[in-house]
Every structure is written in structure tokens, then in C-alpha cells.
Amino acid sequence: MSKLTLNAQHRCFGGSVSYYQHSSSACNAPMRFSVFLPPQANISPVPVLYFLSGLTCSEDNFTVKSGVQREAAELGIAIIAPDTSPRQTGIPEEDTDYDLGSGAGFYVDATQSPWQAHYQMYSYVVEELPQLIETEFPVIAGRRGIFGHSMGGHGALICALRNPHHYLSVSAFAPIAALKQCVWGRKALGHYLGSDQTLWNAYDATELVKQKTWLDKPILIDQGTEDQFLRQQQLLPDRFAEACETVGQSLTLRYQDGYDHSYFFVASFIRDHLQHHAQFLQ
């Protein structure tokens, strides 16, 4: 990994929000992320919580719109928000569709040409980025949680379910909870992983929860009832809930009346999610 490049920095709630870029070995491309360090990090290392954003988003959307910094500053938790894909890799199809390529990495490790050369977002999020953060910033090694929104909610769930000893907590806002069963997922998985659908199970939260890897810890999900993608059968939280009930996985799935898929929804319940993670991170 090359040296970090600081692109911008802002004072925020006694701490700081910073934007960085570095050369990713996993993605073989430049990658960007934001970091919120609470004021407590000036005294001693703090726990860290990773947020994965949704389709078309970058590291900036959540950082600017969620209001996460106020609660994170009070609780003494660092917040890391990576970009959702590599950018400008030269892949011809990369910028053709909003749900494939740029802004749509789906947090998988692609195995199919031409995507496999750069689209290794699962390895980036689970392995490379935490190693970088724990080397370069005042955070406590191994004291990690993960959450996300929409495509990023899917990402958070699969990362936690596949790595129960890597993360201490997980939650999601309106996640794509059964990736192989929705239109978005079938398109992305077909392009990134190929036609063998047995390989898709490794990136489907509803399939992964059946492996009973997370049974000793709860999962929190918030879902708006007026979410257009819920109506379009892209999110399928009920399928995930059924799988959790079957295996005895503790799940709090809250349907929030009148809320949609936007960051207004995320900001409305961000405090609850930070407090959920603080139970395990502090």
C-alpha cells in the first residue's frame, strides 16, 4: 500500500473529519475513504465502526448526510466510510449502468473478466482497509463493528456473518437482505461471479445466516415502510427474518412507519445504531 494522501480535513464536534486516498493492493486501483476521529482519540486509541454505503454513493454521502459525528463524538467511536467501488479503472462497462461497476461494487470479490482485476471490495473492506486503519490511526486493533445502508447494509451483514471473530457488532439500514433473490443481486452476481449460482451464496446474507456463525450476538435492522425498493422486492428483509427465526438468530427488525430509503431515514435512527454498537465496542 502506498502512503496515504490527505485530500481534506474538517473540525467536527471536537474531533475531525478527514478524507484520504491511497493505492489499494486488493483493488489494484486508488481507493478513497473518510475518517471521523472523536476527541477521545487525542488521548488514547478508540474503537472503530465501519459504514458501507449503497448504490451510486461514495465515501462522502454518509459522512455529510447522516449526522453520525455527534453521537460518535459522545461515545468515543471512530467512524470509517470507504468508497463503494474502485473508480476509472478503464473497464469499458464500468460507467454504463448505475447498478454495475462504479458505485456498485456490492462488496464482493469478482472472479469474472474484466471485473476481477479491480473489483475486490470484500477483501478490501474485510482485510486491507482495517489493516491500514489500525496501522495509521489511533484506534484499538480488533475492536471493530460494521453497519451500512442498502447495498452497504448487505455488505455489512455478509462481512459480519462470514467473519464473526473479526467484528464485534453489526447493524443495517434497509439492507439488500437476500441478494441472489432480487433483480439487483442477480445482475451484479452474474457479472461479478459468473453463472454458477452456488457461488453466490457466499455473498447472500439470507444464505449465510443459516450457517449459524453469529448466534451469540444480536443483529439490528431498520426498514422504512415507504421505501420504494421495499415495494419493488429489491430488499427482502422478510426473507432474512425467516432465515434468522429458523436458526435461532437474534434479530431486531424494526419497520419504521412512513420512512423511505433516503438519508433522512438513516439520520433519523443513526443514534439507535451507534448505541447498539457501543454495547459491544466500548
Which strands, in side-by-side order, build the sheet including 169-173?
5-12, 15-24, 29-37, 78-82, 46-52, 139-149, 169-173, 219-224, 251-256
Active site annotation includes 196: no
Residues 6+ positions from 238 with CB-CB distance below 8 Å: none
CB atoms within 10 A of CB 94: 21
176 phi/psi in degrees, rounded to 5: -75, 95
Nine-digit cell string for 120: 475486490
* Catalytic (active site) residue 261: yes
Catalytic residue among 227, 273, 276, 277: 227
Q: Which DSSP helix (H) or strand (E) runs through 192?
A: helix 183-193
Per the residue annotation, which of 24, 53, 150, 169 is the catalytic one? 150
Is 227 a catalytic site residue? yes
Query: Which residues are paired to 147 by β-bridges?
Result: 51, 171
The type of residue at 263 is Y
Residue tagged 478508540 (cell numbers)? 46
The answer to whether residues 219 and 254 touch, using CB atoms and an 8 Å cutoff, is: no
Are 223 and 136 in contact by the 8 Å Cβ rule? The answer is no
Contact 52, 153 (CB under 8 A): yes
Buried b (16+ CB within 10 A) or exposed e, 152-164: bbbbbbbbbbbeb
Report the alpha-carbon distance of residue 28 to residue 117 in Å, rounded. 7
Question: Which of the residues 154, 191, 261, 277 is marked catalytic?
Answer: 261
Q: Which residues are catalytic?
A: 150, 227, 261
